[in-house]
């Protein structure tokens, strides 16, 4: 049984001077209610780039506003803040001995289009409120606590996801800076034109400014809504992920021939959209044939030129394939790509597919799983272990440092949808579990990195 890390009296810590920071974390509403209220606040302008729905893509205006707001909250909770070279907010609550390695806690603040409020921000704001709890009691630990708000997990702006956690681990190649969004703006250009933040270091976007050394970090902890129905079905507030399903993403393009919708007979067409429709049906059939162990999704389709009276000459669509079983995932992908080739050949048009991401299944750290299960049990849930079908920054971080993912029940398992919902009671239980996890973390400075 690990012993508690002794909380020490707080020494004065330097707070980044942000002129809009106000209030004190300890004087706000109860922690969990505040976390939920903050997530809800981030649904709306200026924290969304869309007036009628939540959409917060990487390096957009809403992302910038959210960075400032998250930094303010982190400062109020007793942390110093900085922005790294790729736009991650990193907030630090110092250890008893300044400069000690940190337990990194966090999630992402970008969103999908028409998103719910909790996918990502909940994990960031839980981390901040957890620190506020310790700070209000003057508690410090032999390790620092750092809260990170990753800027890109979803991949909803550029056709690549988890770029920000990959930058932290050193797994993001410099070529990633050349990836283009739908407007033809590269990641590198978006970083260059991202508005500067006073007193922060987003002045040089070299990837090595974001990269961390394993010597600086103890482990990574992500808290996230489950995005599935299991916890609700077993009537538990929180659970522990043991691993995350592998996923690969492709950009598929069918190139036919644009033509006049009135004069080109059906037999003479090279319709890229009709070919894509057939391809999407094939993808669904192949995935369904694997039963419950595999899923495949076409989530975005772009048909050009996109006019009512023109036969579509070029269609690009995304393809996302996932499974907890790496072998199945690869067999399914091969079967789908072969099928796409057959459709193109039969229709006399071209097809091209680029693999834009390939993430193998990612197990969480066995020791951290048991520690988190114990923390969850202390709060009244059974410590249910589960596999995540959704992708998380934990997938990337777990290849770098020991990592763990705590799940929080969400209403009807709904996510990537504005109907996403959590209860204050469940969030409060997650805060309690995280508090227990940190307070009883078996940290041995003698064996610490560095």
Q: Site for ligand GLV (CB under 6 A): which residue of 121, 127, 312, 391?
A: 391
Angle in degrees, CA 327, 346, 249, rounded to 5? 35
In the range 103-162, which residues lie near ligand GLV by CB under 6 A? Answer: 154
- Work out which of 237, 390, 427, 430 binds ligand GLV, going by CB under 6 A: 390
Whether residue 285 is annotated as binding a ligand: the answer is no
Residue 100 near which of Mn ion, ligand GLV, none (CB within 5-8 Å, type-dependent): none
Residue 5 annotated as part of some ligand binding site: no
Interacting stretch for Mn ion, rule CB under 5 A, among 117-125, 306-314, 342-350, 381-389?
A: 117-125
Long-range CB contact pairs, 286-295, < 8 A, 24+: 286/332, 286/335, 286/336, 286/339, 287/321, 287/332, 290/323, 290/328, 290/332, 293/323, 293/324, 293/325, 293/328, 294/321, 294/322, 294/323, 294/325, 294/328, 294/329, 294/332, 295/321, 295/322, 295/323, 295/389
C-beta closer to Mn ion: residue 135 or 224:
224
According to the annotation, is 154 in a ligand binding site?
yes
The single residue among 119, 236, 271, 320 that binds Mn ion, judged by CB under 5 A, is 119
152 is in an annotated binding site: no
Task: Give me the least distance between CB of 326 and ligand GLV, in Å please.
Answer: 17
Q: What is the dihedral of CA 426, 117, 243, 322, to 10 degrees?
A: 140
Please, are residues 251 and 303 in contact by the beta-carbon 8 Å criterion? Answer: no
136: which 2 tokens?
A: 């209000």
Binding part of the chain for Mn ion, among 76-84, 113-121, 130-138, 187-195 by CB under 5 A, reads 113-121
Q: Can residue 106 be called a binding residue for Mn ion (CB under 5 A)?
A: no
Cβ pair 5, 436 in contact under 8 A? no
CA–CA distance, 111 with 97 (Å, rounded to integer) = 36
Looking at the Cβ atoms of 188 and 389, the one nearer to ligand GLV is 389
Q: C-beta of 118: minimal distance to ligand GLV in Å?
A: 12
Find the binding residues for ligand GLV in span 153-172 (CB under 6 A).
154
> How far apart are alpha carbons 334 and 155 in whole angstroms?
23
CB atoms within 10 A of CB 130: 26
Could you give the count of Cα atoms lying within 13 Å of 246 in the half-sphere of its Cβ? 17
Our CB check for Mn ion shows the closer of 375 and 390 to be 390
Residue nearest to ligand GLV (CB): 391
- The H or E element that residue 29 is part of is none
Report if residue 176 touches ligand GLV, rule: CB under 6 A.
Answer: no
* 100 or 410: CB nearest ligand GLV: 410
Q: Is 226 in the site for ligand GLV (CB under 6 A)?
A: no
Return the number of other C-beta atoms located less than 10 Å from residue 413's C-beta: 16
Q: Which does 391 bind (CB under 5 to 8 A by kind): ligand GLV, Mn ion, none?
A: ligand GLV
Residue 119, annotated as binding a ligand: yes
Nearer to Mn ion, 279 or 408 (CB): 408
Reply yes or no: is the peptide bond before residue 81 cis, omega within 30 of 0.
Answer: no
Would you say 122 or 349 has its CB closer to ligand GLV? 122
Nearer to Mn ion, 361 or 391 (CB): 391
Q: Report, in Å, the least distance between residue 283 CB and Mn ion.
A: 21
Backbone torsions φ then ψ of 178, nearest 5 degrees:
-95, -5
Q: Does the annotation list 108 as a binding residue? A: yes
Nearer to ligand GLV, 344 or 359 (CB): 359
In whole angstroms, what is the distance from residue 127 CA to residue 136 CA? 14
CB of 119 to Mn ion, least distance (A): 4
CB of 108 to ligand GLV, least distance (A): 9
Minimum distance from residue 391 beta carbon to ligand GLV (Å): 3
The pair of three-digit structure tokens given for residue 201, joined into one six-digit string: 């270091």
Among the listed residues 242, 146, 144, 223, the one whose alpha carbon sits nearest the alpha carbon of residue 443: 144
Angstrom distance (rounded) from CA 87 to CA 176: 14
CB 286 within 8 A of CB 339: yes
Per-residue x/- mask for Mn ion, residues 120 to 139, rule CB under 5 A? x-------------------
Number of residues that bind ligand GLV (CB under 6 A): 3
DSSP secondary structure, 179-199, as one string: -B-TTS-BHHHHHHHSPP-TT
Instruction: Pick out the residues of the known binding site for allantoate.
Output: 249, 309, 322
Residues in touch with Mn ion (CB under 5 A)? 119-120
Residue numbering of the annotated binding site for Zn(2+): 108, 119, 154, 224, 416
Summarize as ranges the residues that interact with ligand GLV (CB under 6 A): 154, 390-391
């Amino acid at each position: 049984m690990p012993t508690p890390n002794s909380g020490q009296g707080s020494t004065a810590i330097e707070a980044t001077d942000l002129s809009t920071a106000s209030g004190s974390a300890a004087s706000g509403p109860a922690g969990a209610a505040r976390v939920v209220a903050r997530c809800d606040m981030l649904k709306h302008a200026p924290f969304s780039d869309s007036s009628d729905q939540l959409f917060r893509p990487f390096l957009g205006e809403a992302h910038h506003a959210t960075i400032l707001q998250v930094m303010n909250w982190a400062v109020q909770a007793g942390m110093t803040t900085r922005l790294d070279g790729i736009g991650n907010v990193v907030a630090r609550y110092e250890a008893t001995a300044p400069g000690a390695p940190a337990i990194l806690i966090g999630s992402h603040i970008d969103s999908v289009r028409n998103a719910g409020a909790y996918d990502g921000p909940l994990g960031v704001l839980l981390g901040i409120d957890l620190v506020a709890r310790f700070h209000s009691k003057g508690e410090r630990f032999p390790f620092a606590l750092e809260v990170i708000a990753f800027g890109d997990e979803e991949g909803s702006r550029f056709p690549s996801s988890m770029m920000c956690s990959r930058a932290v681990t050193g797994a993001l190649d410099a070529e990633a800076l050349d990836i283009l969004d739908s407007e033809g703006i590269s990641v590198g250009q978006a970083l260059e034109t991202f508005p500067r933040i006073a007193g922060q270091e987003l002045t040089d976007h070299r990837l090595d400014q974001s990269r961390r050394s394993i010597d600086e970090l103890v482990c990574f902890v992500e808290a996230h809504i489950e995005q599935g129905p299991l916890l609700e079905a077993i009537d538990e507030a929180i659970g522990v992920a043991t691993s995350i399903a592998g996923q690969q993403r492709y950009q598929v393009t069918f190139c036919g021939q644009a033509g006049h919708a009135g004069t080109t007979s059906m037999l003479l067409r090279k319709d890229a959209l009709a070919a894509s429709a057939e391809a999407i049906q094939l993808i669904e059939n192949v995935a369904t044939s694997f039963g419950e162990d595999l899923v495949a999704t076409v989530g975005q389709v772009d048909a050009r030129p996109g006019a009512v009276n023109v036969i579509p000459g070029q269609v690009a669509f995304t393809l996302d394939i996932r499974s907890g079983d790496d072998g199945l995932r690869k067999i399914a992908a091969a079967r789908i790509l072969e099928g796409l080739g057959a459709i193109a050949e039969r229709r006399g048009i071209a097809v091209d597919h680029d693999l834009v991401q390939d993430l193998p299944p990612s197990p969480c750290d066995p020791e951290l799983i048991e520690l988190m299960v114990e923390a969850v049990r202390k709060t009244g849930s059974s410590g249910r272990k589960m596999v995540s079908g959704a992708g998380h920054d934990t997938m990337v971080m777990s290849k770098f440092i020991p990592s763990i993912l705590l799940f929080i029940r969400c209403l009807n398992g709904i996510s990537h949808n504005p109907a996403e919902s959590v209860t204050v009671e469940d969030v409060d239980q997650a805060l309690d579990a995280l508090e227990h996890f940190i307070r009883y973390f078996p940290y041995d400075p003698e064996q610490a990195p560095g």
